[in-house]
């Protein structure tokens, strides 16, 4: 077996580490092709270097370690069929160690690397997930416009993780409606808050007041297919109401184009 083939071991270790450690896990799941390959190579070389340094330390601090490698060498004779190319046994041992070290090292580092810090960092690389993350963090409703012009406003149940495939978006609806085909004007037709009553829609497991006490807010949860969402934004009902009010006031004070023509005639 050539040394180049042996180097596949730390490459596999680098891939495992990149998909395990929180520091790089969420970014690596967003990557593919050469970007993911170079990330695996980077961490593979790092792990291989660590294992080679540990091997040198063991030789210096533990004299009997050399005997252990001597005992192992016969089992690795298949990697040294061409002596002119040097002794690949140390690379084989370090490469295997780097692959075996990748997963436990990643898990150990996760004890000190808070997961949600890196989830947030990964979310900021995607506008869709960034808006959802902010909506959850600040407890702000989102407005999702679907391909069929149906509109849903509600609280996001949970954010996405880069390690999971996005298929649907679960929300606790506050209101729903549609957008006009002509000018995309938003019209609300259903107000779920009339059903919730005194129940808090930000608390999914809170029961509704009588006569619907057998139901909770979560029972009205809606799953929206992500691939059918046309646009997404943060939404504030009070700001929307104020905007509509200003629009109506402006419409009343703005003269119609034909009114001035009639007056001049």
Burial of 79 (0-12, 13-18, 19+ CB in 10 A): buried
Q: Mean pLDDT of all residues in the chain?
A: 81
pLDDT at 143: 95
Q: Whole-prediction pTM value?
A: 0.64
Which CATH class, in words, describes the domain spanning 129-255? mainly beta
The band of 147, judged by pLDDT with boundaries at 50, 70 and 90, is very high
pLDDT one-digit tens code per residue, 19-66:
888 888 877 777 777 788 888 889 999 998 988 888 888 888 887 777
Q: What is the pLDDT of residues 237-260, one digit of tens each?
A: 888 888 878 777 777 776 665 544
Share of the chain above pLDDT 90, in %: 28
What span, in angstroms and rounded, lies between the C-alpha atoms of 119 and 128? 14
Residue 187 backbone dihedrals phi, psi, to 5 degrees: -130, 125
pLDDT value, residue 62 = 81
Mean pLDDT of 97-102: 90
CA 187 to chain centre: 32
Mean pLDDT of 98-103: 91
Longest dimension (CA), the chain: 110
Position with higher pLDDT, 189 vs 3: 189
Region 4-32: mean pLDDT is 81
Residue 16 pLDDT class (50, 70, 90 cuts): very high
Both tokens assigned to 66: 């050399």
Q: Which has the minimum average pLDDT: 31-35, 160-164, 176-180?
A: 160-164
Q: 6 pLDDT exceeds 70?
A: no
Given this model, what pLDDT does residue 261 score?
Answer: 46
Residues 6 or more apart from 233 whose CB is under 8 A from it? 131, 142, 143
Q: What is the pLDDT of residues 185-243, one digit of tens each?
A: 888 999 998 999 899 999 989 999 988 899 999 999 999 999 999 999 999 888 888 88
Read off the tokens for 42. Answer: 């980077």
Q: What are the boundaries of each domain within the chain?
A: 3-113, 129-255
pLDDT: which is higher, 103 or 56: 103
Residue 159 has pLDDT above 60, yes or no: yes
Which three-class secondary structure state does DSSP give residue 141? coil
Give bridge partners of residue 155 from the DSSP assignment: 172
* Residue 110 CA from chain centroid, whole number: 17
**What's the Cα-to-Cα distance from 48 to each of 21, 122, 232, 243, rounded to whole Å?**
17, 27, 45, 60
Query: Based on the number of CB atoms within 10 Å of its own CB, is 226 exposed (0-12), middle (13-18) or buried (19 or more)?
Result: middle
């Amino acid at each position: 077996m050539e040394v180049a083939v042996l180097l596949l071991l730390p490459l596999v270790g680098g891939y495992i580490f990149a998909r395990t450690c929180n520091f790089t896990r969420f970014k690596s799941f967003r990557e593919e092709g050469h970007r993911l390959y170079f990330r695996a190579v980077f961490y593979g070389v790092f792990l291989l270097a660590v294992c080679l340094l540990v091997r040198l330390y063991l030789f210096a601090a533990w004299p009997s370690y050399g005997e252990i490698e001597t005992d192992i060498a016969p089992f690795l004779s298949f990697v040294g069929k061409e002596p002119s190319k040097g002794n690949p046994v140390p690379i084989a041992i370090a490469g295997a160690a780097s692959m075996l070290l990748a997963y436990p090292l990643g898990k150990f580092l996760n004890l000190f690397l808070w997961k949600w810090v890196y989830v947030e960092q990964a979310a900021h690389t995607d506008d869709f997930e960034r808006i959802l993350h902010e909506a959850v963090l600040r407890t702000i409703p989102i407005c999702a416009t679907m391909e069929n012009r149906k509109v849903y406003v509600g609280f996001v149940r949970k954010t996405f993780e880069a390690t999971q495939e996005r298929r649907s978006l679960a929300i606790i609806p506050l209101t729903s409606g549609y957008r006009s085909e002509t000018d995309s004007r938003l019209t609300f037709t259903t107000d779920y808050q009339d059903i919730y009553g005194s129940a808090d829609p930000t608390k999914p497991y809170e029961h509704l007041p009588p006569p619907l006490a057998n139901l909770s807010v979560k029972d009205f949860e809606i799953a929206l297919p992500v691939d059918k969402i046309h646009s997404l934004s943060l939404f504030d009902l009070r700001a929307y109401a104020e905007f509509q009010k200003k629009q109506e006031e402006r419409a009343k004070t703005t003269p119609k184009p034909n009114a001035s023509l009639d007056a001049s005639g």
